[in-house]
Amino acid sequence: MDIFQTFFNIDVLVRTFPLLMQGLWVTVQLGLCAIIAGLALGLGLALVRIYGARPVRLIARIYIDVFRSIPLLVLLIIVYYALPFVGIRLSAFLSALSALTMVSAAYTAEIFRAGIEAIPKGQFEASGALGLSYRHMMVDVILPQAIKIVIPPLTNNSINVIKDTALASVVAMPDLLKQATQAQALAANPSPLIGAAIIYVAFLWPLVAWVSRLERRFGGGTR
Amino acid sequence: MAGFVSIHNLRKSFGAFEALRGISLDIAEGEVVCIIGPSGSGKSTLIRCINRLEDFAPESQISVAGIPVTTGRSLAAVRAEVGMVFQSFNLFPHLTVRRNVMLAPMRVRGVSTAEAAERADKLLTRVGISEQADKYPGTLSGGQQQRVAIARALAMEPKVMLFDEPTSALDPEMVGEVLDVMKSLAHTGVTMIVVTHEMGFARQVADRVIFMDAGEVVEIGAPAEIFANPQHDRTRHFLSAVLNH
Ligand SMILES: Nc1ncnc2c1ncn2[C@@H]1O[C@H](COP(=O)(O)OP(=O)(O)OP(=O)(O)O)[C@@H](O)[C@H]1O
Ligand SMILES: [Mg+2]
């Protein structure tokens, strides 16, 4: 059997393609949910971390540091296999979603914080002097400017979240990787794994290229 | 008798350093006051306390139009009445010139978009930059930006305007256009407190000139008196240094 027949077996790929597409759909769902939830939670954490009262600020900081330190796989296994011992039993999807969200929020919070802190002090002072409330200052003045700064790193983080969804296959989520391994077992041929790899790359390459372009455009700290 | 802007025993420290050492000052409605003094004397800190961009010691009291400058609702009321113009303009770079002027009236006073736009255009005409209304601040010259900043502050129809060295960041050829706008403003009855190094402006426009040094008010008087006949050595010393340049 030659290499081509082993790794790029067209016959096997065609047969298992629907399975892989099902997996991709699960991966996309999981990734998008985790990205959106992580953005919301991360923005909240960043605001608390910068403007909160001292005790909550400290809690936000500890959260951010802890969830940036813990390996995602470890967290995922704790959520799925350890929490049931205290009566918290989440489905595979919810386990994966919470683990991905908790970690993504920590990174997102740091990205938002850097973005907000990059806004010159004069913008806050001018808003305050005009009598804008805290909410209006953030919504109308600070965040619109911070968004431009945070879009490239946030996109990077989103790419990481989608890649990390592959870890969900260890808690039996039928995501792209899991479907590929199952298809491989079924067909007794590793082509589906290669197929999955190609799908991941095809899916994420455009995002990666887009980030590079954004970084070049916004790079050098110009505004 | 408390002034329209009333400052009583104002103290402010940055750590162990006392930037303001117990300043008391009453400014009447419609009065134009210029604050002069050497670098580091506390001029900026003083006017930044009036709208509480700087916190100050709890025993100090400031009020504007009878409203105490404290925190919360009362501070919001004060800030709505007090406009401020900064040395570095601090325009909102992501908004057009017109939107810069419209924002606060819409958000703070609840003015409609159409009315805010109309008011903004009137003000931009008044400061002489109506043609730039749809541009972004970054594309304007320094002098134009500062005039937008003045229009933005005026859009709130403030009773008091604070200026912190509004012409110090400008190229010399643009100083005049900003001072002209300020001069015409001085005749409208708005109370103005102006930190400046423009002695010509102070002499010509101010009702009173305040000389500050080392966190204290050293001398207050009509510009003619202060410039022609300063009472204190420190004032004399400062004036001879700036005027003979
Ligand atoms: N945020 C701060 N932290 C520490 N010290 C400060 C701070 N702001 C001002 N100071 C100090 O307080 C003193 C008064 O500063 P202020 O800016 O009010 O002076 P100024 O009279 O406006 O000077 P200039 O003419 O240079 O603008 C200075 O010695 C300054 O170093
Ligand atoms: Mg100053």
pTM above 0.90, yes or no: no
Which pLDDT value is given to residue A14? Answer: 87
Cβ pair A125:B153 closer than 8 A = no
CA distance B49 to B9: 12
Q: What is the 3-state secondary structure (H, E, C) of chain B?
A: CCCCEEEEEEEEEECCEEEEEEEEEEECCCCEEEEECCCCCCHHHHHHHHCCCCCCCCCCEEEECCEECCCHHHHHHHHHHEEEECCCCCCCCCCCHHHHHHHHHHHHHCCCHHHHHHHHHHHHHHCCCHHHCCCCHHHCCHHHHHHHHHHHHHCCCCCEEEEECCCCCCCHHHHHHHHHHHHHHHCCCCEEEEECCCHHHHHHHCCEEEEEECCEEEEEECHHHHHHCCCCHHHHHHHHHHHCC
Please list the ranges in chain B whose pLDDT falls under 50: 1
Contact at CB, B86 and A140, closer than 8 angstroms: no
More confident residue, B49 or A219: B49
Which of these, B69, B83, B237, lies nearest to B152 by C-alpha position?
Answer: B83
Tell whether A1 is covered by a domain: no
- The answer to whether position A5 is within a domain reads no
Candidate from A122, A130, A141 with C-beta closest to B108: A130
Number of separate domains in chain A: 1
Q: How far apart are CA B13 and CA A213, in angstroms?
A: 47
Does the distance separating the beta carbons of A125 and B90 come in below 8 Å?
Answer: yes
Buried b (16+ CB within 10 A) or exposed e, B63-82: bbeebebeeeeebebbbbbb
The count of CB pairs under 8 A between chains A and B is 60
What's A142's domain CATH number? 1.10.3720.10
The answer as to whether A134 is a domain residue is yes
Look at residue A223 and tell me whether its pLDDT is greater than 80: no
ipTM of the shown complex = 0.94
Asked, for residue A12, whether it belongs to a domain, the answer is: no
Residues B8 and B50: their CA atoms lie apart, in Å, by 11
Q: What is the pLDDT of residue A185?
A: 87
Distance, CA of A38 to CA of B52 (rounded, Å)? 36
pLDDT of residue B49: 96
| Residue range A107-159, pLDDT digits in tens | 999 999 999 999 999 999 999 999 999 999 999 999 999 988 898 999 999 99
Place of tokens 């991709």: A24
Q: Is the pLDDT of residue A189 over 50?
A: yes
Q: What is the pLDDT of residue A5?
A: 83
Q: Confidence band (pLDDT; 50, 70, 90) for A169?
A: confident
What number of CA atoms fall less than 13 Å from residue B220's CA on the CB side?
Answer: 12
> Do B51 and A123 lie within an 8 Å CB cutoff?
no
Adjacency order of strands within the sheet including B82-85? B82-85, B160-164, B191-195, B32-36, B208-213, B216-221
Return d(Cα A136, Cα B39) in angstroms, integer: 34
Write the residue with the smallest CA distance to atom 28 of ligand 1.
B40
How confident is residue A213, by pLDDT bands cut at 50, 70 and 90?
confident
Name the one residue in this structure whose structure tokens are 């800030």. B79
Q: Each residue of B41-86: pLDDT tens digit?
A: 999 999 999 999 999 999 999 999 999 998 878 898 999 999 999 9
> Best interface-test mutation with A: which of B64, B90, B108, B160 has the largest number of A CBs within 10 A?
B90
Please work out whether the CB of residue B176 comes within 6 Å of at least one atom of ligand 1.
Answer: no
Q: Is A105 a member of any domain?
A: yes
Quick check: is A149 in a domain?
Answer: yes
Q: Which amino acid, one-letter code, is at B163?
A: F
Structure tokens at B88: 């570095």
Q: Is the pLDDT of residue A219 over 70?
A: no
Instruction: Judge residue B241's burial from the number of C-beta atoms within 10 Å of its C-beta, 0-12 exposed, 13-18 middle, 19 or more buried.
Output: exposed
Residue A13 lies in a domain: no
Query: What is the extent of the structural domain holding A94?
Result: 19-222
pLDDT (0 to 100) of residue A1: 60
Question: Average pLDDT of A191-213?
Answer: 90
Instruction: Write down the pLDDT at residue A221.
Output: 40
Q: How far is CA A64 from the centre of its chain?
A: 15
User: What's the rounded Cα separation, in Å, for the pair B220 and A154?
Assistant: 55
Domain assignment of residue A14, yes or no: no
Task: Report the Cα B224 to chain-centroid distance in Å.
Answer: 22
**Ligand 1 pocket residue status of B19, Cβ below 6 Å:** yes
**Residue A222 pLDDT:** 38
Q: Is the CB of B215 under 6 A from ligand 1?
A: no
